């Protein structure tokens, strides 16, 4: 699982809180080396979690869109989608007295 690594999870949280951060800023904030941060960010970017923008000589990173909440629910908490049958069961709960 991509976010099972605590550094990647902390990087995602940090990029979400402070979009546009550089690798150096992110590494400093979560207490890891720039090399470790770069490797983790590369994996996150390859999986579509993070995007980068080069401004001059600096590269800035941010979490991609609102999909983060959806993916966190799936990857960390293990929430699945309800099927249409599940939705109808929840719409009319059965009670016993």
Q: How far apart are CA 26 and CA 14, in angstroms?
A: 7
What pLDDT, on the 0 to 100 scale, is given for residue 34? 98
Q: What is the pLDDT along the chain (97 residues), one digit of tens a residue?
A: 666 788 998 898 888 888 899 999 999 999 999 999 999 999 999 988 899 999 999 999 998 876 665 566 466 645 454 444 443 443 434 334 4
Structural domains present in the chain: 2-91 (1.10.10.10)
Rounded to whole angstroms, how far apart are CA atoms 23 and 78?
Answer: 29
Report helix, strand or coil for 62: strand
> Which two structure tokens, joined as six digits, stand for 58?
């600096």
Contacts of 39 (CB under 8 A, 6+ apart): none
- pLDDT given for residue 63 in this prediction: 85
């Amino acid at each position: 699982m991509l976010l099972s690594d605590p550094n990647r999870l902390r990087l995602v949280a940090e990029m979400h809180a402070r979009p546009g951060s550089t690798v150096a800023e992110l590494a400093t904030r979560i207490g890891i080396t720039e090399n470790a941060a770069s490797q983790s960010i590369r994996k996150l970017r390859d999986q579509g979690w993070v995007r980068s923008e080069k401004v001059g000589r600096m590269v800035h990173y941010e979490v991609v869109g609102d999909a983060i909440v959806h993916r966190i629910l799936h990857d960390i908490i293990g929430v699945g989608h309800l099927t249409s049958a599940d939705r109808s069961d929840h719409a009319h709960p059965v009670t016993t007295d």
